[in-house]
C-alpha cells in the first residue's frame, strides 16, 4: 500500500462539505480489480516501483477505502480529467499495461467520479492501521513435512521419514510453509494419526529401546518425570500441571505408549508453539522459532536450557545462540530446504526430456545439475562469500557428465571448484543446467518460463496470469516460413491482450536462448518442421540464427545479450538484492511481507548490503529483528478440550 503524505491545503472540516460519490470499496475498487490493476501495482508486481500500490488481496474493507482516499496523490486538482489515475487505465496517457478500462464506459464514469471527489477533497488520508493490526495477530504455523520428519528423528531417533507419505504440500507464494494455506484436511489428520501409531510402535517394538523413559516407572514420581521430560521436547515447552494430570491418567490406564501416541497427535506437537500465558512460555516459543528457522527441527538441550534461563528475549543472546547453531551441520540441511523450494529443484528432478533430441539427459544428470547449484550455494554461504555471486560466479562445481554437457574439460575431482575459461558463455546460476532445464519444455526451450522465473524468483515481481479465453498457442513453423521461438513469440507483442505481460517476461527469456532445453550451448536453433507426405509425416530440420539481445523492463540500463551479462546485471541490481531479503523473510515467517513490514525489510537489506552480502548476516538480522519476537505476547488459545493454554 502506498505511503501517503497528509497534505493540508485548507481546513480539514471543509472535507465534510464535499459530497462523496459512494463507497469506494463497493463501487470503484471492483472496477480496478476487474481491470487487473492490482496484479502489477502490488508489492510484488512488475509496477511495484511506481507510486500506485494496491493493498493486499485479503485487505479489509476499511483498508481498501483508505487506499481509495490515498489515490489523491495521483490526482490533478486543477484538471481532474488529466489525472494519471484516470488517464492511464484508459490508455489516454501511454500505459505499459495497455487499455485496462474502456473509454466512455460506465466503469470509467465511476472512476472519474471518484477522481473528481478526490480533487475537491482538501486532504489525503493516512494509510489504514488494518495491516498493522493483522500483523500483531499471526496465525499458528504447522510443521512442514520436512520439519515433521526431522522432529521425529530427533525426538524418537526414528529415521523412517513418515511425512514423505503424507498428502503432498503445495507451493504457495513460492514456498510450502505459507501459514494461510496450511489447512488441516481430513486426509492430513488421518495421515498424522497413522504416523503416530507407527512411530510409537517402532519406539517400543523391543521395549524402551530409545531410552524415552528415564527411570523405573512403577511409582508416580518417575511416571511424571517421564511425562514432563518427553512432553517438554514434544511440545517444545514445559507442560502445565493440568496437562501432566491428563497424560498421567492415560499412562495409568494404558502405559507409556499411550502417552507418546497421544502427544504425537496433539496440535501442540503438530503446530509451532507461538505463545503462552507467561514469560517462560514465550522464551520457549523463541527457542522453537530459532530451531525451526536455522535447523528445520526441534530445539536441542542447549537451546531448551537457554529458554529455561530466560536468555532468548535479548537480541544479543539470540544472536549468540544463532551463531552456535549455524556452526552445526543441521544448519546446512535446513538451508538446503529453503534453497530447494526457492529455486524449485523439484522441477528439474522430475523433468522429462524427449529422448531422441536429448539422449544424454537422465535422472542422474538431473541430480548432478541440482548438486552443482547446491555446491555453489554452500560455497557462498558457508565460506562467507558475496551471495550475489550466485548470479556472476565465473566458476562452478561440475562432475564429468556436466563438464561434457557444458563443453568443458573434465574436473580434477567430482564437483570440485573449477574456474571457467574466459571464453565460457556461463556465469552463475543462469548458466546452470538446473535453472535452464527446469524452465524449458520436453522438446524446446521456453522463453516465457525462463523470463517468469527471473522476474518472480530473482526480482520478486509477480507476473499476472493470461486473460481468460486467450489462445496461448503459437504458430507452428512451416517449410515456407521457418521461425525461431523468438519470432513465433512476436505474436505476443502484437496482440494487445498479451503484450502488456509478455513484454515483461519474453525479453528476459530471449537473452537465454543460446542454451537449449537441457542447458547445452548452441550457436543456432534447430527447428523441427512437420512435412506431410501422403498419409505419413516426416520431420525436416532447419538451422536458424539466434538473436539473444534482451532487456528487463522496469530496470534501468538493463539491456543485455546472454546469460553472463544478465547475471551481472542481477548481481548489481538493488531490486534483485532486496528480493533475496524478501524471499528469506517470506520463508522465515511463513507469509508474504506487507507494506507494514517495509521498515523491517529495509533494515534487513541494509545489514545484508553492509556485510558485503553475507547470507549468514542476513539470517542474523532476521533473528535480531523485533519482528522475530512479534506475536508472542498476544496469542492466546485453547487446547482440544477447551482448557486455557
In a domain, 305, yes or no: yes
Same domain, 397 and 360: yes
In a domain, 325, yes or no: no
Same domain, 200 and 90: no
Report the distance separating Cα 615 and Cα 621, nearest Å.
10
Report the distance separating Cα 315 and Cα 331, nearest Å.
20
Instruction: Report the 10 Å Cβ neighbour count for 168.
Output: 8
In a domain, 2, yes or no: no
Long-range residue pairs from 531-534, CB within 8 A, at least 24 positions apart, any chain: 531/479
Same domain, 405 and 490: yes
Read off the pLDDT of residues 314-371 as tens digits, 9 standing for 90 and up.
999 999 999 999 999 999 999 999 999 999 999 999 999 999 899 999 999 999 999 9
Read off the pLDDT of residues 593-631 as tens digits, 9 standing for 90 and up.
887 788 999 999 999 999 999 999 999 999 999 889 886
DSSP 116-158: HHHHHSS---PPPSHHHHHHTSPPP-BPPHHHHHHHHHHHH--
CA 259 and chain centroid, separation: 37
Which of 110, 135, 160 terminates a domain? The answer is 135
Residue whose C-alpha cell reads 558457508 in the numeric block = 382
- Give the pLDDT score at 6: 29
Total tally of structural domains belonging to the chain: 3
In a domain, 611, yes or no: no
Q: Are strands 416-419 and 395-398 parallel, antiparallel or unpaired?
A: antiparallel
Same domain, 126 and 153: no
Task: Give the confidence band of 528 by pLDDT, cuts at 50, 70, 90.
Answer: confident
In a domain, 606, yes or no: no
Same domain, 355 and 482: yes
Please name the residues in contact with 19: beta carbons below 8 A apart, sequence gap of 6 or more. Answer: 117
pTM of the entire structure? Answer: 0.77
Which of 572, 597, 614 terminates a domain? The answer is 572
Read off the pLDDT of residues 20-34 as tens digits, 9 standing for 90 and up.
455 788 788 888 888
Same domain, 218 and 252: yes
Report the distance separating Cα 458 and Cα 387, nearest Å.
13
In a domain, 185, yes or no: yes
Please name the residues in contact with 445: beta carbons below 8 A apart, sequence gap of 6 or more. Answer: 485, 509, 512, 513, 515, 516, 517
Same domain, 422 and 293: no
Same domain, 534 and 565: yes
When pLDDT is averaged across residues 487-508 and rounded to a whole number, the result is 72
Read off the pLDDT of residues 107-140 as tens digits, 9 standing for 90 and up.
888 888 888 888 877 643 333 333 433 344 445 7
In a domain, 229, yes or no: yes
Same domain, 97 and 183: no
- Alpha-carbon Rg for the chain, nearest whole angstrom, is 28
Report the distance separating Cα 620 and Cα 324, nearest Å.
11
Which of 105, 135, 165 terminates a domain? The answer is 135
Same domain, 410 and 456: yes
Q: Residue 524: enclosing H or E segment and its boundaries? A: strand 524-533
Same domain, 17 and 164: no
Which residue did the predictor score with more confidence, 471 or 164?
164
- Give the pLDDT score at 10: 31
Report the distance separating Cα 166 and Cα 157, nearest Å.
20
Tell me the CB-side half-sphere exposure of residue 53, using CA atoms within 13 A: 17
Which residue did the predictor score with more confidence, 442 or 640?
442
Same domain, 187 and 99: no
- Using a pLDDT cut of 70, give the percent of the chain over it: 84
Helix/strand/coil for 634 = coil
In a domain, 19, yes or no: yes
Report the distance separating Cα 398 and Cα 381, nearest Å.
18
Report the distance separating Cα 162 and Cα 155, nearest Å.
14
For residues 568 and 392, the answer to whether their CB atoms sit within 8 Å is yes
**Domain coverage including residue 249:** 145-315
When pLDDT is averaged across residues 270-274 and rounded to a whole number, the result is 78
Amino acid at each position: 500500500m502506498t505511503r501517503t503524505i497528509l497534505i493540508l491545503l485548507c481546513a480539514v472540516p471543509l472535507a465534510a462539505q464535499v459530497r462523496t460519490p459512494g463507497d469506494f470499496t463497493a463501487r470503484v475498487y471492483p472496477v480496478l480489480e476487474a481491470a487487473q490493476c492490482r496484479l502489477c501495482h502490488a508489492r510484488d508486481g512488475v509496477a511495484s516501483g511506481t507510486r500506485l500500490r494496491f493493498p493486499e488481496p485479503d485487505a479489509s474493507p476499511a483498508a481498501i477505502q483508505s487506499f481509495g482516499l490515498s489515490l489523491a496523490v495521483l490526482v490533478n486538482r486543477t484538471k481532474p480529467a488529466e489525472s494519471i489515475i484516470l488517464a492511464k487505465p484508459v490508455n489516454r496517457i501511454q500505459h505499459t499495461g495497455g487499455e485496462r478500462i474502456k473509454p466512455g464506459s460506465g466503469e470509467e464514469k465511476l472512476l472519474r467520479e471518484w477522481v473528481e471527489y478526490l480533487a475537491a477533497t482538501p486532504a489525503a488520508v493516512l494509510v489504514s492501521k488494518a495491516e498493522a493490526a493483522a500483523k500483531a495477530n499471526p496465525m499458528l504455523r504447522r510443521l512442514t513435512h520436512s520439519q515433521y520428519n526431522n522432529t521425529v528423528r530427533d525426538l524418537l531417533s526414528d529415521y523412517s521419514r513418515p511425512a514423505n507419505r503424507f498428502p503432498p504440500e503445495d507451493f504457495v507464494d513460492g514456498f510450502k510453509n505459507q501459514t494461510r494455506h496450511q489447512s488441516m484436511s481430513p486426509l492430513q489428520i488421518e495421515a498424522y494419526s497413522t504416523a503416530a501409531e507407527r512411530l510409537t510402535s517402532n519406539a517400543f517394538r523391543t521395549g524402551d529401546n530409545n531410552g524415552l523413559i528415564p527411570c523405573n516407572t512403577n511409582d508416580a514420581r518417575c511416571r511424571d518425570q517421564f511425562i514432563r521430560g518427553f512432553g517438554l521436547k514434544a511440545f517444545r515447552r514445559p507442560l502445565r500441571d493440568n496437562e501432566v494430570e491428563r497424560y498421567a491418567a492415560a499412562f495409568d490406564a494404558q502405559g507409556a505408549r499411550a502417552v507418546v501416541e497421544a502427544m504425537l497427535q496433539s496440535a501442540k506437537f503438530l503446530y509451532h508453539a507461538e505463545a503462552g500465558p507467561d514469560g517462560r512460555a514465550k522464551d520457549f516459543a523463541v527457542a522453537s522459532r530459532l530451531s525451526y528457522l536455522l535447523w528445520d527441527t526441534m530445539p536441542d538441550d542447549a537451546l531448551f536450557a537457554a529458554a529455561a534461563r530466560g536468555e532468548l528475549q535479548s537480541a544479543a543472546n539470540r544472536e549468540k545462540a544463532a551463531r552456535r547453531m549455524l556452526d552445526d551441520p543441521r544448519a546446512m540441511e535446513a538451508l538446503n530446504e529453503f534453497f530447494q523450494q526457492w529455486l524449485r529443484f523439484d522441477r528439474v528432478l522430475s523433468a522429462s526430456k524427449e529422448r531422441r533430441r536429448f539422449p544424454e539427459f537422465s535422472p542422474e544428470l538431473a541430480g548432478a545439475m541440482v548438486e552443482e547449484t547446491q555446491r555453489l550455494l554452500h560455497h557462498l554461504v558457508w565460506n562467507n562469500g558475496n551471495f550475489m555471486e550466485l548470479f556472476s560466479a565465473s566458476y562452478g562445481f561440475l562432475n564429468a557428465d556436466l563438464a561434457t554437457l557444458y563443453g568443458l574439460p573434465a574436473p580434477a575431482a567430482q564437483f570440485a571448484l573449477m574456474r571457467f575459461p574466459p571464453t565460457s558463455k556461463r556465469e552463475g546460476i543462469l548458466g546452470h543446467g538446473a535453472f535452464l532445464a527446469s524452465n524449458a519444455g520436453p522438446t524446446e526451450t521456453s522463453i516465457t518460463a525462463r523470463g517468469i522465473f527471473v522476474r518472480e524468483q530473482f526480482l520478486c515481481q509477480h507476473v499476472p496470469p493470461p486473460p481468460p479465453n486467450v489462445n496461448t498457442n503459437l504458430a507452428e513453423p512451416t517449410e515456407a516460413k521457418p521461425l525461431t521461438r523468438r519470432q513465433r513469440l512476436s505474436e505476443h507483442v502484437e496482440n494487445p491482450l498479451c503484450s502488456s505481460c509478455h513484454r515483461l517476461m519474453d525479453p528476459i527469456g530471449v537473452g537465454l536462448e543460446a542454451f537449449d532445453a537441457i542447458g547445452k550451448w548452441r550457436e543456432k536453433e534447430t527447428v523441427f518442421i512437420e512435412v506431410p507426405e501422403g498419409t505419413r509425416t516426416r520431420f525436416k530440420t532447419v538451422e536458424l540464427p539466434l538473436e539473444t539481445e534482451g532487456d528487463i523492463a522496469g530496470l534501468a540500463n538493463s539491456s543485455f545479450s546472454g546469460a553472463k551479462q544478465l547475471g551481472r546485471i542481477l548481481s548489481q541490481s538493488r531490486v534483485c538484492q532486496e528480493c533475496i531479503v524478501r524471499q528469506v523473510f517470506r520463508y522465515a515467517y511463513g507469509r508474504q511481507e506487507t507494506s507494514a513490514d517495509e521498515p523491517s525489510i529495509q533494515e534487513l537489506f541494509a545489514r545484508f548490503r553492509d556485510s558485503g552480502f553475507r547470507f549468514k548476516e542476513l539470517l542474523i538480522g532476521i533473528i535480531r529483528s523485533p519482528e522475530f519476537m512479534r506475536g508472542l505476547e498476544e496469542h492466546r488459545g485453547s487446547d482440544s478440550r477447551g482448557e486455557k493454554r
